[in-house]
Structure 1
Amino acid sequence: MALTQDPDGLSRIGQAPESTTHKVVKSLWIGIWLFYLSAPVTDLVRGGHGTAARLLGGLGLLAFTGWYLVLVFRTAKLMPVARVLVSLAVLATQAAVLSLTLGREWLVLFVYVSISSGAALPGEYSRWTVPGATALLTAVAFSVPGGDEYLAGLLVPALMGGFAMVGVRAMIRTTTELRQARATVAQLAANEERLRMARDLHDLLGHSLSLITLKSELAGRMLPGQPERAAQQVADIERVSRQALVDVREAVSGYRRPTLPGELAGARTALAAAGVTADLPAGFEDGSLPEEAESALAWSLREAVTNVVRHSGARRCTVTLTTRQTLAGAVVELAVSDDGTGGAAVPGNGLTGLTERLEAVGGTLSAGPAGRGGTSGFRLLARVPLGSVVKVAPAARRAGPTGQEGLRRHDLGSGS
C-alpha cells in the first residue's frame, strides 16, 4: 500500500493517487517488494530448464505478477469480494503449478498470494485465506524436491505478511472514516458559524436601523422649525451608525458579547426616542450571572425592545429582571411587556435566534399576548438557569412620555 504525503504533511493513507508523482511513489513502494521474485527469475535464467519451460515459466510469472499488482494497487474502486476470491484462486493455482513444474524457488509466489489476500479482502475473509494460502504453501513444499528446506524461511513471511496487510487494510478503512468524519465536522462548524453570523447581524442591525429610522423621522418633523433639535437628532443618528458599524465588525469577528447594563441603556434611549414610557430596572448588582446567560438575556432584551419600538404602537414598556427559585434550581427571568396592539407571536428570525441562544445555556423563551383575548399588549419572557442568586436593583426613573403614531404590531422576530 502506498504512503505519500499531502502538501500539509499529513499522510495520504487509503486515497487513490491524484497526480503523476503520487502514482510513481506508490508504484515504487509496491515495486520494492517484487525484489523477492528474483529467485524465480534466477531459476529461469540459470536453472537449466529447456526453452519451452523458460518461455512458459516467464509468461506464467508475468501473468502472476500483473494480476498481483491489480489486486494490491487498486484503491479508487474496490473489487467485489467474489471477484477477489476468484483472482486469489487463480494466483494460488499459478503458484502451485509453477512450483510443482519448475522447482522449489517458485514457492515464494505463495507469499504474494497471502499478502494479496490480506490486502484485497475484508477481515472476515482474509483471516481464513491467509492461513489457507500458508497451508497450501506447506502442502506444495512437501511435494517439491527440496521444498521442505525452503519452507521454514517462507512460512513466517507468508503468515506475518498476510496478517500485516490485514492490519494495514483496517488502518486504511479507519483513516478513511476519520477523514470523512473530519470533513463532516468541518461542514457542521461552517454551518454553525453562518447561523451565528446571521443571528448576530439580524439582532444588531434590526435594533440599530430601527433607532436610526425613528430619529430620522423626528429630525424630519423638526425641520425647519426646530433646527437645533433636528441637529441633535442627526448627531444621534451618526453616533448610532458608528456604534452599529463597530458592533457588526465585532460580531463578524466573534468577539462581541452584549451585556445587560449596556442593553438596558440602549433600550432606554430607543424607547425615549419612540415616545414610549419606559419602566426599566437599574441593573443587577453582584455580577454572579454567568457570561453566556447574561449574553442570551441581553440579546433577548435588545430584540424585544426593537419590536416594541417598531411594531407595537405602545405607550408604555415595562422590563423586569428577577430571580426565582424553582424545583430545578434558581433561574433569572427577563420579562418585556407593553400595552400595544397585542397579537400572537409568529416564529420568525428573531424568535428563532433568541430560542437558539437561550437553549444553548439551558434557558427557555415564551412570547405572546400580555392580556386576555390577545388584544392588549404583548409580553416576552426569557428564562435562564442560575447557580447563585443575582440581586436586581429597583426600577430606574421612567423615560418621558410622548406618543409615537403610525407603528403597527408585527410578529416578534420577523421584522427586526
Structure 2
Amino acid sequence: MNDDETSVGVGRPPTGRRQVGIKLLWIGVWLAFMSAPVKDLIDGNHPAWATALGTFGLVVFVGAYLVLVLRQTAKALDRRLVHSTIAFLGALAAVLSLTLGTAWLVLFVYVSVSVGATMPLRTARWLIPAVTAVLVAIGLTGNHSREIITALVFPALLGGFAMTGVRQLIRTTVQLREARATVAQLAANEERLRLARDLHDLLGHSLSLITLKSELAGRMLPDHPEQAAAQVADIEQVSRQALVDVRGAVTGYRRPTLPGELAGARTALAAAGIAADIPAEAPDGLPEKPEEVLAWALREAVTNVVRHSEARHCTVTLAPRQTLDGRVLELTVTDDGVGAAGTKPGNGLTGITERLATVDGTLTTRSGGIGAGSASGSGKGFTLTLSVPLDSGLGSAE
C-alpha cells in the first residue's frame, strides 16, 4: 500500500476516507480531556433536564470545535465564521461551567486551542490569555477547587500558543511546497523555450534554404534540367545536414546528467518508502562523458534498490578521490536490503560495466550495506561502487 494513501501530509487536506479517519483519530486523541464533563454527566450529579441539556451542549461544543480544527489551517478561513464560532464556543463554555460545575472548566482549554489554530498570531497572543483569564474568573466566582483552576491554566496557555506554532509551521510548509512547484514549472517553461529556440536556430535557416532552392529548381526544371538537378543535390545536402543537427540536439536533450539523476533518485526512493541520504548537488566541472556514464549507472542502481532490494534505507555518496593512477570520481550506492540483489544476470550491471569501459572506469560490488558492520552482524545489504577517471581540470569539485 502506498504511504500517500495512509498518511496526511503537513498542510494537505485529506483526500480519501482513510486519510479523513487518520486525521479524526489524531484530533480525537485530544478529546480525551473531555472525560471530566462526560463523567460528570454519567455520575448523575444533576437533574434529568440539566443532564439532557448538558449532553446536548457538550455535543454541540465538540461539533463546533471539530469544524474549526478539521478545516485546513493552511488556508485562511472566513474571518466572520471564525470569530462567530469562537465566540459561540466561549459563550457555551461559560454557560456550561457556570451551571454544571468545575468539571466543565476544561472546555476553555479547547476554546484556547481553537483560537491558536484559527486566529492570526497578532490576535491569538492576547486572546489566548483572555480566554484563560475568563476561565480563572469563572472558577473563582463559584465554589471551585483552586487546585483544579491552577491545573487548567497551564494547558490553556500552552495548548493555545502551541497551536499557533503548529499553524505557522503548516503555512510555511505549504508556501515552501508551492514555491517548489513554481520553480519546477518555471524550469519546465525555460526548457521548452530553450527547445523552441534551438529548433528554430537549427531548422529555420535550413528549411528556408530548402524552400527557396525547391522553388528555384521548379522554375529551372522545364528549360534547364541540369541546373535544376544541381539545386536538388543542394537540397539533399542541406536536408541531410539538418537531420544531423537535429539528431545531435536531441541526443543532447536526452543525455542524463548527475544533478538530474540525483533528483530523480531522491524522488524514486521517496515514492518507494525508502529513506534516502543523497547529496544535494553534484561536483562542478565534470567532463561530459564520465558524467553521463555515472548518471546512467546511478539510475540503474537506484532502480535495482527500488525493485529488488526490499531496503528501508539507501545512501548515495559522490566524491572525488586521489588514487595512484590519478584522480577519480567515486559513486557509491549502499542499501540495507536483502543483500546480493542485483548480482544476477539481467539486472543491468552488465550495461553499467560496458558504459564504464568506454571511460576506463571500474565497478566493484559487495554484499553487506548499511549497518553490515554492526554488532548484529546480519550481513544484509548491498554496496555498489563505481569510479571514473577525471581530467586535471576538476579543481572545483573538492
Q: Taking structure 1 as the reference length, what is the TM-score of the superposition?
A: 0.53
Paired residue type of 2:11: G
Show structure 2 runs of 5+ residues with no match.
255-398
The answer to whether the Cα contact below 8 Å between 1:219 and 1:234 also exists between their aligned partners in 2 is yes
Q: Does 1:169 align with 2:189?
A: no
For each residue in 1:36-76, what CA deviation from the matched residue of structure 2 results, as whole angstroms up to 9, or x when unmatched? 11111111111522212211111111111111111212228
Gap change, CA 1:62 and 1:219, over 3 Å in 2: same
Gap change, CA 1:234 and 1:50, over 3 Å in 2: same
Structure with greater contact order relative to length (CA < 8 Å, sep ≥ 6): 1
Residue 62 of structure 1 is matched in structure 2 by 59
Paired-residue identity, %: 58
Paired residue type of 2:167: R
Residue 28 of structure 1 is matched in structure 2 by 25
Residue 101 of structure 1 is matched in structure 2 by 99
Q: CA deviation at 1:234?
A: 5.3
The answer to whether the Cα contact below 8 Å between 1:99 and 1:144 also exists between their aligned partners in 2 is no
Residue 351 of structure 2 is matched in structure 1 by none
Residue 182 of structure 1 is matched in structure 2 by 180
The answer to whether the Cα contact below 8 Å between 2:8 and 2:19 also exists between their aligned partners in 1 is no
How many aligned residue pairs are there? 251
Q: Does 1:19 align with 2:16?
A: yes
Aligned ranges for residues 15-414 of structure 1 at < 5 Å? 15-75=12-72, 78-213=76-211, 221=220, 237-252=235-250, 254-255=252-253
Cα distance in 1 for partners of 2:43, 2:14 equals 38
Larger Rg: 1
Paired residue type of 1:173: R
Paired residue type of 2:38: V
Cα distance in 2 for partners of 1:26, 1:95 equals 25
Q: Taking structure 2 as the reference length, what is the TM-score of the superposition?
A: 0.55
For each residue in 1:110-137, what CA deviation from the matched residue of structure 2 results, as whole angstroms up to 9, or x when unmatched? 1100000111111111111111111112
Cα distance in 2 for partners of 1:254, 1:47 equals 80
Q: CA deviation at 1:231?
A: 7.0
For each residue in 1:74-96, what CA deviation from the matched residue of structure 2 results, as whole angstroms up to 9, or x when unmatched? 22875433432232222122222
Gap change, CA 1:246 and 1:159, over 3 Å in 2: farther
Q: CA deviation at 1:211?
A: 4.0
> Could you tell which deviates more after superposition, 54-63 or 229-238?
229-238
Q: CA deviation at 1:173?
A: 2.1
Gap change, CA 1:42 and 1:179, over 3 Å in 2: same
Q: CA deviation at 1:254?
A: 4.9
